[in-house]
Homo-oligomer: A and B are copies of this chain.
Amino acid sequence: MAGVFGVDGSLPSSRMLAEELGVSRTTVTVAFEQLLAEGFITVRQGAKPRVAAAVIGRDLRAGTPSQAGAVRLSAYGERIRGIPAWRDDAASPLVADFRYGVLAPSDFPAGIWKRAMNAAMARRPDRLSYDDPRGLKRLRMALQGYLWRARTLRCELDQIIVVSGSQQGLDLCARLFLDPADRFVIEDPCYVMARRTFAGTGACPVPIAVDRDGLQTELLAGVAARLAYVTPSHQFPLGGVLPVARRRQLLDWARQNDAYVIEDDYDSEYRYDINPIPPLHGLGDSDNVVYLGTISKTLSPTLRIGYLVVPPGLQQVFATAKQLIDRHSPLAEQEALASLIESGAYESHVRRARRLNGERRQALLNVLHLAFGDRISVEGANAGLHVLVRFTDLPQSLEAALIDEARRVGVGVHSAAPLYDPAMTEARRDRISLVMGYSALDARQIERGVQLLAQAVARVLS
């Protein structure tokens, strides 16, 4: 506009401009009002409008050409920059993908969930406003009962914080407990997203080796750290249950070191031989334990609901942090889950899911035995939604070739190696170990998948 009307910025009157452009004067007036509001023109009483001084002589979209996006991040941003980008596995469909943490849509109680969501959406509140950052009271009450019935975990209502999946629970713990240069204990091997989340704060991981009984707590002696992240009911990925003696040792260590224990109870619902193992929380006093549960393994990871049980003194700061992070989790899903728990439908569903996954597990164990016999050892098969398969005759050096060859014939397999601390010795991973999740697969896929894996193994060994 400055270009058309000259450097002095004077504009024709709305009447003149309307005539010149052949439009109504109202149209020009509306346009002038918009330009005025956005600050492109100025108007003084009785005078013609003028182009605003700051606009004259500048091209609308010019400005100095930018320095090809020099990125300026916080220390946190720089630390997490190296984490590999999320990849969409669905892009290349496979005969069977033994990825851990994926569920079968056929297991999902679609009808019950849909009814519960519709009931939640039909409820008309007095007003639409932000809700309690700790989560819907109705859901926290339902969870309080569920935790007592299913996990023998007793807590006050105010200790429960509903989070958007257990990942958000980990992130809250990381932010509230860790500073740069602090130390945190992590299982080795471990759940990598937990390691990344805690390390994102700038704190340093102290990897402690895991054996068939979980974290080797005797190695904690003399270790100073602010926090320990553990999976005591079912170690991820090796599958061990932390025995009571080690539980005590861990809690004693935490008390002596003024450290918090983050107990990730991610899949304790799936126990095939005995009753579910009670959580650490409740053994001794629990002032040092943050308990973390999720519905990602029982209902679906796409719903994004998890829950924390925090020590009494920390309720308020967790609620404030949750509010600063995202106000609260979406209400409809919270309401629907509450109604499923209240009616008993959730626990019926968990029993059904346990039976279905028990069948998948058995199918996998059978076909693994048939295909590989003594050439493999299988660990952690009594619980959860995955097994750890160790090949006795496949050196680690063949891992990349095996994974590629398996993918070529249509099977997704996933190495346990990246779950070990990168700085630790290679000694204990001299043979290929695979984490094989089965919860998204049917028996036919499991069978065919293992057969194809056997072909791939034969080919890389030949």
Contacts and interface: CB of A to CB of B under 8 A. Distances in A.
Given A54-B249, A86-B323, 14 more contacts: A55-B245, A63-B248, A63-B252, A72-B226, A72-B260, A76-B175, A164-B330, A168-B326, A197-B324, A302-B330, A302-B331, A302-B332, A325-B325, A326-B326
20 contacts: A39-B246, A40-B244, A61-B283, A66-B285, A71-B317, A73-B177, A74-B178, A81-B316, A86-B130, A105-B126, A113-B121, A128-B300, A128-B440, A130-B302, A171-B324, A193-B324, A302-B330, A302-B331, A304-B328, A330-B333
A25 interface: no
Interface residues of A, number: 131
Nearest to A335: B302
A60 B251 CA distance: 13
Contacts of A62: 284
Identical subunits present: 2
A329 B72 CA distance: 26
A326 B314 contact: no
Interface of A: 30, 33-34, 37-40, 52-55, 58, 60-66, 69-77, 80-81, 83, 85-86, 88-90, 93, 99, 101-105, 108, 110, 113-114, 117-118, 121-122, 124-134, 163-165, 167-168, 171, 175-179, 182, 193, 196-197, 200-201, 213, 226, 241-249, 251-252, 255, 258, 260, 273-275, 277-278, 283-285, 287-288, 300-304, 311-314, 316-317, 319-321, 323-333, 440
Nearest to A252: B63
A329 B175 CA distance: 20
Q: Majority SS of interface residues in chain A? A: loop
Given A40-B244, A114-B118, A319-B85, A126 B302 contact: no
Nearest to A256: B64
A154 B109 CA distance: 41
Given A52-B245, A175-B74, A304 B329 contact: yes
A326 B304 contact: yes
Contacts of A243: 38-40, 52
Contact of A277 (B37, B213, B302): B37
Contacts of A122: 114
Nearest to A113: B121
A206 B284 CA distance: 48
B128 A121 contact: no
A130 B86 CA distance: 10
A319 B317 CA distance: 26
Contacts of A247: 39
Contacts of A327: 164-165, 167, 301, 304
A176 B85 contact: no
Given A179-B74, A324-B167, A327-B167, A128 B102 contact: yes
B93 A105 contact: no
A206 to B, nearest CB: 17
B326 A165 contact: yes
Contact of A274 (B37, B53, B66, B201): B37
A247 B58 CA distance: 13
A324 B113 CA distance: 27
B34 A275 contact: yes
Contacts of A244: 38-40, 52, 54-55
B313 A128 contact: no
A456 to B, nearest CB: 22
A127 B110 CA distance: 13
Given A179-B74, A245-B39, A301-B128, A63 B325 contact: no
A114 B121 contact: yes
Given A85-B320, A175-B76, A242 B39 contact: yes
Given A284-B61, A326-B168, A316 B85 contact: yes
